[in-house]
Amino acid sequence: MDVTRRIFTAGAVTVPFVGAACPPARAQNTAQDAPLIGNNAVADPLELATEAYIYGYPLVTMEMTRRVLTNVAAPEDKSAPMGQFANMRTYPDAQFRAVTAPNADTLYSSAFVDVGKDPVLLSIPEADGRYFLMPMLSAWTDVFAVPGKRTTGTGPQTYFIAGPGWSGSVPTGAKLVQAPTSLIWIIGRTYCTGTPDDYKAVHALQDQYRLVPASAAGRPYTPPAGRVDPGVDTKTAVRDQVNRMDATTYFNLLAALMKDNPPALADGVAVAKMASLGIVPGAPFDPTRQPASVRGAIEQAPRRALARIMEHMKVTGRHVNGWTFTTDGGDYGKDYLQRALIAAVGLGCNLPQDAVYPTTTVDAAGRRLNGAASYVIRFPAGELPPVDGFWSLTMYDADYFFVDNPLDRYSVSPRNDLKTNPDGSLDLVIQHESPGAQRESNWLPAPAGPFVLMLRTYWPRDALLNGSWAPPPVTRSSGATL
């Protein structure tokens, strides 16, 4: 779910349920870490604490997100009790402020599930060719399975999702998916045109997305009411709640969460570093047991780590024609800094094979986009975004919210009956005022002031993933006064 700015997408896997090895450009060199193992006395405690904070940031963020989105008695809007789907029924409008960077292409079906105590059966109905995907994220934010049109087709499907260490028999007709952590987040997305008839069709599908505990399989099952905890802060943004934690609170929560959501086997170096600070899975964290120098380093770690996480945004990803996007995420390997950044600015994003989201705030000359000017994005003939799913261009104001306009149009895509030029090229018109009836089908309304553009590409082809295709620049129209 787009709970934060959706600047990045994630991942690097090529098969439905198995993550590929971390690309060499992202993999950290174990040899560089070796001096810190078994010789922690010579390590800088502030650096150790900073790295521990960055390592644990996705796990803590996922838990705080879970608390907020499951703190209801019954499903409502974007929230639902544990083990139940929250189905978004309509696209947000310009008054929507619950999350930044909302989308108007797919309706969400989101569920947090604890598969550590009891596996669950996920049932997906016949989608009759409609684009959908059901990515499953571990508690560390790694995507470990992606049922959907790209990977498994659109026929009826059933998955038996079990937690780490589970063994047993799988029900007939179900496919086993072994989750690496007890807590998982399923973030289903179903394509919808937004018309009344298509809303009705998608709602019928959403109503058939089912989660049933394995212990209740084969008999009628009614999900229990959720427990509402009045102590959970559902008003403050999750990122703010995490970032405001003091070091002791943060590392205590991290240690507790690691008991049921174990680090990957490949993370032995990071786990050893944390243990040198007293951060051990399942054990209370007590900084008073550490020397004064270490306690001071632990207290300073959150501020230093958060600055490093956000600074990473300046160097990660690709920057082409004014657009920024990345394909590093989802299957992070040992790139803990990238994983933390994605958790901070794009929690819940897809693998790049499923979606990539180039974003820009500037025109071809590097000037800030502003509704006081008019712009055109021209796709030459035969060079539309290379996708096997679909694409759209979404408009946001400077705060990443939809822009009020007379057409109630927040994105433009081929479903808008776009008109091509005589030479086969396609112009998308971006401006505040209507360009006139003849060009209105290609018009994406802009605010009067600064704005942000996001090109959503679902099921992108290799040309986009390998960089041989990039979005064309946003060109300011002649006669602009800015």
Level-2 CATH architecture, domain 1-321: Sandwich (2.60)
pLDDT at 330: 79
pLDDT at 9: 33
The answer to whether 445 and 407 are in contact (CB under 8 A) is yes
Place of tokens 């790209």: 150
Beta-strand ranges (E) seen in 208-287 are 210-213
The count of residues in the chain is 482
Sequence spans of domains, the chain = 1-321, 358-476
**DSSP letters spanning 388-402:** EEEEEEEEEETTS--
Q: Would you say the CATH fold of 358-476 matches that of 1-321?
A: no
Reference 246, options 289, 290, 198, 285; nearest CA is 285
**Domain boundaries 358-476, CATH class:** mainly beta
Q: Indicate whether 29 pLDDT > 50.
A: no
Please enumerate in sequence order all residues whose Cβ is within 8 A of that of 98, keeping only pairs 6 or more positions apart, or say none.
Answer: 77, 78, 92
Structure tokens at 301: 């770690």
What pTM value is reported for the model? 0.88
Q: Indicate whether 16 pLDDT > 80.
A: no
Q: At what angle do helices 247-260 and 45-69 cross, to 10 degrees?
A: 70
Which DSSP state fits 178?
A: E
Span 316-337, average pLDDT: 89
Beta-strand ranges (E) seen in 317-371 are 318-320, 323-325, 355-356, 359-360
Please write the tens of the pLDDT for every residue from 181-231: 999 999 999 999 999 999 999 999 999 999 999 999 989 999 999 999 999
Q: Indicate whether 390 pLDDT > 70.
A: yes
Span 335-356, average pLDDT: 92
Q: Indicate whether 329 pLDDT > 80.
A: no
pLDDT at 480: 41
Place of tokens 């998916």: 177
How far apart, in Å, do the first and last CA atoms of the chain sit?
Answer: 36
With b for 16 or more beta-carbon neighbours within 10 A and e for fewer, the 381-398 pattern comes to eeeebbbebbbbbbbbbe
Span 352-381, average pLDDT: 96
Q: Within a 10 A sphere around the Cβ of 330, how many other Cβ atoms? A: 27
